[in-house]
């Protein structure tokens, strides 16, 4: 099963104006994501270069697992933005 996670920052200028606490949260978020990627739980992750949104695509065994991973992301736990989680289907994927 795949799920897509979106995180929109609460400020348009978030990248330019992150507080030290927000930078620390984002560091914990990146470590969390890297560990999930290494475990095969994340297929893709990235962010818009203008800071408008970050996205993750989870590959998990159940909706409960997706919710657990999402709910335990430091960026979600520490209320860094507006998070969303949705079931997702990869319809087209380039292999090149």
> Could you tell me the CATH number of the domain that includes residue 57?
3.30.70.1060
pLDDT of 10 reads 92
pLDDT of 43 reads 95
pLDDT of 76 reads 95
Q: Per the domain annotation, does 27 fall within a domain? A: yes
pTM of the model: 0.90
pLDDT of 95 reads 86
The CA-CA-CA angle for residues 59, 62, 67, to 5°, reads 85
74 burial type by CB count under 10 A (0-12 exposed, 13-18 middle, 19+ buried): middle
Number of domains in the chain: 1
Q: Per the domain annotation, does 9 fall within a domain? A: yes
**pLDDT profile of the chain (96 residues), mean per 10:** 96 92 96 97 94 95 97 95 96 88
pLDDT of 40 reads 97
Give the number of other CB atoms < 10 A from CB of residue 53.
Answer: 15
Angstrom distance (rounded) from CA 95 to CA 32: 26
87 burial type by CB count under 10 A (0-12 exposed, 13-18 middle, 19+ buried): exposed
pLDDT of 93 reads 87
pLDDT of 92 reads 92
């Amino acid at each position: 099963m795949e799920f897509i996670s979106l995180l929109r920052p609460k400020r348009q200028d978030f990248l330019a104006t992150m507080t030290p606490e927000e930078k620390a949260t984002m560091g914990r978020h990146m470590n969390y994501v890297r560990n999930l990627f290494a475990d095969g739980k994340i297929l893709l992750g990235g962010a818009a270069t203008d800071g408008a949104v970050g996205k993750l695509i989870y590959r998990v065994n159940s909706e409960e697992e997706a919710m657990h991973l999402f709910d335990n992301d430091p960026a979600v736990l520490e209320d860094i933005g507006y998070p969303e989680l949705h079931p997702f289907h990869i319809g087209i994927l380039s292999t090149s």
